[in-house]
Amino acid sequence: MRDKIKIILADDHRIFRKGLKSLLSEKSNIEILAEADNGAEALEAAMKYRPKIVIMDIGMPKMDGIEATRQIRERLPDTEVVILSMHAKKAYIDQVLKAGAKAYVLKDSDEENLIAAINTVHNGGYYLDSPIADQVLSDYFGGKAKRELKEQSDPISEREKQVLRLLAQGHSNQEVADILCISRKTVENHRANIVRKTGVQGQVGLIKYAARIGLIDLDLWD
């Protein structure tokens, strides 16, 4: 008998998460190890149980799915992440794939798509829901030069983007430090560099700039 695919579910909507657990638990090759209400809990559960796959939402409190994905992939290279989200915006697709997610499935997809994503990732592959794949391929073939030009002109570093995204979501300097496992002084230095490079001022300025460059969706964390 083949070993079961051990999974952790991370989604802040309890009713949806329970329904997903019920659905997946019916599959003979899947075992649900734990559930999480937010990215921080997902990271903690992953470190404890070391699952094969974490099924992750994006917009969650305390630590969002993007940062949780990045930290899980850094700390647990044998644990993969499948994103299950209602959002199909390209900015989030880019961020979670860069963070290390191996699959992206939309919540309004058929059950078969999620099962296919789980099995594909378990077997070492990548899986993108059709609307997501269309965006990724369109960007690669149609907008590569434009994207490369944008990257060359981007004033802030990847680490500064991580800090900016968390600050724009309303986290304090200390909370950002705790999430990223760096010192508060380092966060303050990154924040000062962001202000110096972009010219934005205050929390409202940070939020507007983060939204403008696609780091946050103002509707996602309502």
* Structure confidence by residue, pLDDT tens digits, 3-28: 899 999 999 999 999 999 999 999 99
User: Are the C-beta atoms of 67 and 39 separated by less than 8 Å?
Assistant: yes
Q: How many domains does the chain have?
A: 2
Q: Give the tens place of pLDDT for each residue, 90-121.
A: 878 888 999 999 999 999 999 999 999 999 99
The domain boundary, picked from 85, 118, 141, lies at 141
Q: The pTM is what?
A: 0.77
Buried b (16+ CB within 10 A) or exposed e, 182-209: beeeebeebbebbeeebebeeeeebbeb
Tell me the chain's radius of gyration from C-alpha atoms.
18
The domain boundary, picked from 89, 107, 141, lies at 141
**DSSP letter assigned to residue 123:** T
Structural domain for 181, as ranges: 154-212
In the predicted model, is pLDDT for residue 151 greater than 90? no
The domain boundary, picked from 141, 167, 197, lies at 141
Examine the domain organization and report whether 129 and 161 are in the same domain.
Answer: no
Q: Which of 54, 50, 117, 106 is nearest to 80 (CA)?
A: 54
Buried b (16+ CB within 10 A) or exposed e, 45-65: bbeeeebbbbbbbbbbebbbb
Examine the domain organization and report whether 94 and 159 are in the same domain.
Answer: no
Rounded mean pLDDT, 17-40? 95
User: Does residue 147 fall inside a structural domain?
Assistant: no
In the predicted model, is pLDDT for residue 222 greater than 60? no
